[in-house]
A and B are shown apart, each in its own frame.
Chain A
C-alpha cells in the first residue's frame, strides 16, 4: 500500500482564490510527522509546512495551512489568496516514527496552475 497518496495530478485555481490540495497517509505508528513541499519549475524543493501527529491544532504558515484530520488520515494543504508564483508541483510527505525517525515517504505530487 502507498504510504502517501495524492489523488490530484493537476489542479487549476484562479488568482486570489483559495485551493485545497489533498493528501492521505497510511501508517500504524502513533508518532509521525507530515510535511508539504513546493517544487517550482526550477526544480528545488522548498519546505512549506509541518504537522506533528500529536499537534492538536492545525499548522499554519502565512498563506499555507494544513487541514489535519487524524481519524481520516488526511493532511490537506490549503493555500489562501493564490498568487501566480504558487504555480508549481506540491508534494506531501511523511516521516514515519518519532522525531528521530529516518524513514520518509513522498507522494507523487500535485501540479498546481494559478490562472490570472
Chain B
C-alpha cells in the first residue's frame, strides 16, 4: 500500500550543486505534480504531468526540470541549486478516472541549499 513515495526525505546541497528528487506512485495515476512549501506561503505548483511524455509548467517552474518517461515516476531536477530553493518539496498524484480527483501526496523532501 505504498501510494506516493518520495526520496530522499532530507537533503543538504551546496550552491551550484545538482540533484534529482525522486517520486514514484503505484496507483496508475495519470496526473503527477511537484509542489514546494515555504513558510507562510502554502504550497505552490512547480511542474505537472498528465501522462508519460507530457509535462507542463506550474506557478513557479524556474530552476527546475522534470520528465515523465513512465506512468510511475516523475523526478524533479535541480540543475544548479540556489539558496532560494531551500524548501519542502511534495510530490502528488491523482487520477482522471471518475471520482473527486483527489491529489495524494508523498511524505515530502526537506531540502536545504547552503
Among B90, B100, B107, which residue has its beta carbon within 8 angstroms of that of A50?
Answer: B100
Within 8 A of A (CB), among B24-81: 31, 33, 35, 40-45, 48, 50, 56, 58-59
B interface bracket (residues with beta carbon within 8 Å of A): 20 to 34
> Is A12 in the interface zone, CB < 8 Å from B?
no
Contacts of B90 in A (CB 8 A): 45
Any B CB within 8 A of the CB of A85: no
Residues of chain B lying within 8 A (CB to CB) of residue A105? 45, 59
Measured CA separation A50–B101 after assembly (Å): 9
Contact size range, A: 20 to 34
Give the contacting residue for B100; candidates A44, A52, A109; CB below 8 A.
A52
Which B residue's beta carbon lies closest to that of A98? B101
A20 to B: closest C-beta gap in Å:
19
Check A102/B101 contact, CB under 8 A, given A108-B40, A108-B41.
no
CB-CB nearest in chain A for B30: A100
Partner of A102, one of B43, B56, B100: B56
For B110, list chain A residues within 8 Å (CB). Answer: 43
Q: Which of A43, A104, A106, A107 has the most CB of B within 10 A?
A: A104
Q: Which 8 A-B pairs have the closest CB atoms?
A: A45-B105, A106-B42, A106-B43, A50-B100, A108-B42, A47-B102, A43-B108, A44-B107
